[in-house]
Amino acid sequence: MSWKHLFSKSLAANPDRLHFAAHSHHLWPDASHDGQLSAWQDAAALADHKWDKIMGPVWSEAQQHVADELNLPDPATLCFAPNTHDFLVRLMSALPTRPAKVLATDGEFHSFRRQMTRWVEAGEVVLETVSPERLLATARSGEFDLVFASHVLFNSGTIIAELDQLAALARPEGPWVVIDGYHGFMAIETNLSQIADRVFYLAGGYKYAMAGEGVCFLHAPPGFAERPAVTGWYAAFDDLSLPPGDVGYAPDGRRFLGSTFDPSGLYRYNAVQDMLRSEGLTSAVISDHVAGLQAQFMEDEPLAAFDLLNPLDGQSHARFLAFRGEQAPALHKILADRNVVTDVRGDVLRIGFALYHDRQDVARLAKIIGQIV
């Protein structure tokens, strides 16, 4: 089955390209173009009053889409922001202890690592990092204010399965458990219904939600981090009539809002979600499609000299294959010169598969690699 027709604009923009970096920048489906136009049209027609619609039905629809995907009991626990770094900063600002004791895996994304390193330099944080395999045991044995872990590690595709056990450690007074779901959201079926009252979960639309940048979200459990010290006026959007000097907060996930933002990502996200539903494309269906393509790619072992960090085992799997080898940077460059888009992190070449690929694309990729290695 081919779903290329849903991505006709992105594919036509560079028809000779083989884009196997959906885990990095997922190509945008045509529906996102329609969503972008809707944002512009509302701004033109409604002007100042567009925010009534954005913070009303557009916002609520996006919340419901996320809640349905994650099986969250209450969509109101969700807040949107331009990027997940905004949420990290606001979360840390709500911690009452300084320096804050933070536990994380040693495979977290650049933005988290850089910010934590700087906070350590500034004396704001005491950071301990461990392998994914040691995360749960370390979290149980230590006294931490915040435990932060990716559901799917960006560099290796490793999946952390002990979300329930981590959630059992969470308390409003600490530790807070934060799950970075960026490589898991809409790639790994995720049911937060039993732990939604204990964990924070953040992700965004740039990858498998196919909506582009500017539409990230945070699920914030009630009773946790109720008054972030880093805050914008939208966090009190419901009540702008408070007396001067009073700092009010929304009673739900919107307490993590900042200030004025570009809402077009919300429109794109809603349009893409509507498209997926109309096509019957659940995350499970897409994962099955991707799994078949990954298995096809591995049949002839085109990268036999590399170490596959996340082997195919028939279980839930990242949407990319992570190959470690000293020739990874060189291979990445040669592929790029041939208009084949992958990405490399150190000595790890990542090849990402998506809904816009079919068997012919995979066969072409394997043939090109076979001519190189």
Q: Which DSSP string corresponds to 177-227? A: EEEE-TTTTTTS----TTTTTTEEEEEESSSTT---SS-EEEE--TTSS-S
Entry pTM: 0.95
Residues in the chain: 373
Distance from C-alpha of 190 to C-alpha of 321, rounded to nearest angstrom: 20
pLDDT at 121 over 60: yes
Please report, for the chain, the start and end positions of each structural domain, with discontinuous segments joined by +. 4-31+281-372, 34-276
The answer to whether residue 102 scores a pLDDT higher than 70 is: yes
Q: Side-chain half-sphere of 154: how many Cα atoms within 13 Å?
A: 24
Judge whether residue 89 has pLDDT over 90.
yes
Look at residue 238 and tell me whether its pLDDT is greater than 70.
no
* Strand ordering across the sheet containing 348-352: 307-308, 320-324, 348-352, 343-345
Indicate if the pLDDT at residue 241 is higher than 60.
no
CB atoms within 10 A of CB 179: 24
Which is more confidently placed, 230 or 301? Answer: 230
**pLDDT-based confidence at 240, cuts 50/70/90?**
low
Cβ count within 10 A of residue 83: 15
Q: Region 6-12: what's the mean pLDDT?
A: 98
Q: Note the pLDDT tens digit of each residue in 177-203.
A: 999 999 999 999 999 999 999 999 999
Percent of the chain with pLDDT over 90: 92
Tokens of 69: 């995907």
Architecture of domain 4-31+281-372: Alpha-Beta Complex (3.90)
Region 205-221: what's the mean pLDDT? 97
> What's the mean per-residue pLDDT of the chain?
95
pLDDT digit string (tens) for 286-324? 999 999 999 999 998 899 999 999 999 988 999 999 999
CA distance 163 to 265: 28
pLDDT (0 to 100) of residue 70: 98
Question: Which pLDDT band, with edges at 50, 70 and 90, does 242 fall under?
Answer: low
346-366 mean pLDDT: 97
The confidence band for 373, taking pLDDT boundaries of 50, 70 and 90, is: confident
Q: Residue 237: is its pLDDT beyond 80?
A: no
pLDDT, tens digit (0-9, with 9 covering 90-100), for 147-157: 999 999 988 99
Q: Which of 312, 324, 267, 279 is nearest to 57 (CA)?
A: 267
* Domain boundaries 34-276, CATH class: alpha beta
206 pLDDT band, cuts 50/70/90, is very high
Supply the DSSP symbol for 49.
G
Ramachandran quadrant class, 197 (left: phi over 0; alpha: psi -120 to 50; beta: rest): alpha
Q: How large is the average pLDDT for residues 239-267?
A: 86
pLDDT tens digits, one per residue of 47-84: 999 999 999 999 999 999 999 999 999 999 999 999 99
Tell me the per-residue pLDDT of 48-57, one tens digit each, with 9 for 90 and over: 999 999 999 9
245 pLDDT exceeds 80?
no
Q: Is the pLDDT of residue 142 over 90?
A: no
Name the token pair of 226: 């109720």
pLDDT at 274: 98
The residue-averaged pLDDT of 235-249 equals 71
73 vs 193: CA distance, rounded Å: 6
Measure the CA–CA gap between 269 and 246, rounded to whole angstroms: 34
Q: What strands lie across the sheet with 199-204, from one edge to the other?
A: 78-81, 216-219, 199-204, 176-180, 146-150, 100-105, 125-130
